[in-house]
Structure 1
Amino acid sequence: MSETMILHHYDNSPYAEKVRLMFGLAGMRWQSLLSPPWPPRPNVDPLAGGYRRIPVAQIGADVFCDSALIAQEVARMADNPAIDPSNADESARELMQQAEGEAFFAAIASVPPVRLLGTMLKTFGPFGMVRFIKDRTALLKGGSTKPPGAANAGAILQSLFDALDARLQTAQWVAGAQPSVADLAAYHPLWLHVNCSRGPLKAGRTVQEWFERVEAIGHGTRDEIAQADAFGAARESEPRAVPDSEADAPVAVGGRVHVAPVDYGVVPVTGTLAAVTVDRIIVARDTEAFGTVHVHFPRAGYSIAPA
Structure 2
Amino acid sequence: MSSTLILHHYDSSPYAEKIRLMFGLANLSWQSLLSPVWLPRPNVDPLAGGYRRIPVAQMGADIFCDSDLIAMEIASLAKQAELNPKNASPEAKSIAQFAEGEAFFAAVSAVPPLRLLSTMLLKFGPIGAFRFIKDRGELLKGSDAKRPNLEQSQALVEDLIGRISKQLDQHEWLDGNAPSAVDFSVYHPLWLHVNCSRRELQCDAKVRDWFQRVAAIGHGQRHEISQADAFSAAKDAQPRDISDSAEHELLNKEVAVSPSDYGFVPVQGKLVAVNQKRIIVARDTENFGLIHVHFPRENYSINAQE
Instruction: Name the counterpart of 2:133.
Output: 133
Aligned AA (2:158): Q
Alignment pair present for 1:184 and 2:187? no
Displacement after TM superposition at 1:252 (Å): 2.2
Displacement after TM superposition at 1:170 (Å): 2.3
Instruction: Name the counterpart of 2:296.
Output: 298
Give the secondary-structure state (helix, strand or coil) at the position aligned to 2:38: coil
Distance 2:17 2:167 in 1: 23
Instruction: Name the counterpart of 1:216.
Output: 216
Alignment pair present for 1:31 and 2:31? yes
Instruction: Name the counterpart of 1:144.
Output: 144
Instruction: Name the counterpart of 1:66.
Output: 66
Instruction: Name the counterpart of 1:110.
Output: 110
Give the secondary-structure state (helix, strand or coil) at the position aligned to 1:222: strand
Distance 2:146 2:302 in 1: 22
Instruction: Name the counterpart of 2:269.
Output: 271
Displacement after TM superposition at 1:146 (Å): 2.1
Aligned AA (1:278): Q
Instruction: Name the counterpart of 1:163.
Output: 163
Distance 1:32 1:101 in 2: 27
Displacement after TM superposition at 1:125 (Å): 1.1
Instruction: Name the counterpart of 1:204.
Output: 204
> 2:31, 2:222 within 8 Å by CA — same for their partners in 1?
yes
> 2:2, 2:60 within 8 Å by CA — same for their partners in 1?
no
Displacement after TM superposition at 1:147 (Å): 2.2
Aligned AA (1:147): R
> 1:144, 1:262 within 8 Å by CA — same for their partners in 2?
no
Distance 1:98 1:28 in 2: 28
> Any idea what the Cα deviations from partners look like across 1:217-265, whole Å, max 9, x if unmatched?
0000100000000000000000001133212x2x421100000011111
Distance 1:263 1:205 in 2: 35
Aligned AA (2:88): A
Q: Which of 278, 281, 298 is 2:279 aligned to?
A: 281
Equivalent pairs counted in the alignment come to 305
Instruction: Name the counterpart of 1:119.
Output: 119
> 2:8, 2:56 within 8 Å by CA — same for their partners in 1?
yes
Distance 1:182 1:141 in 2: 28
> 1:33, 1:224 within 8 Å by CA — same for their partners in 2?
yes
Distance 1:215 1:178 in 2: 14
Displacement after TM superposition at 1:2 (Å): 5.3
Instruction: Name the counterpart of 2:51.
Output: 51
Instruction: Name the counterpart of 1:257.
Output: 255
Aligned AA (2:288): F
> Any idea what the Cα deviations from partners look like across 1:23-73, whole Å, max 9, x if unmatched?
001010100000001111000000000000000000000000000000000
Distance 1:144 1:81 in 2: 33
The gaps in structure 1 that reach 5 residues or longer are: none
Distance 1:152 1:287 in 2: 46
Greater Cα offset, 91-100 or 136-145: 136-145
Instruction: Name the counterpart of 1:234.
Output: 234
Displacement after TM superposition at 1:275 (Å): 0.4
Distance 1:89 1:183 in 2: 12
Distance 1:77 1:246 in 2: 24
Aligned AA (1:174): L
Distance 1:189 1:204 in 2: 17
The alignment's C-alpha RMSD in Å is 1.0
Aligned AA (1:32): S
Displacement after TM superposition at 1:138 (Å): 1.2
- Aligned sequence identity (%): 59
Distance 1:148 1:84 in 2: 30
> 1:243, 1:277 within 8 Å by CA — same for their partners in 2?
no
TM-score, normalised on structure 2? 0.98
Instruction: Name the counterpart of 1:243.
Output: 243
> 1:32, 1:224 within 8 Å by CA — same for their partners in 2?
yes
> Any idea what the Cα deviations from partners look like across 1:64-103, whole Å, max 9, x if unmatched?
0000000000000000000001111111110110000000
Alignment pair present for 1:99 and 2:107? no
Distance 1:150 1:263 in 2: 22
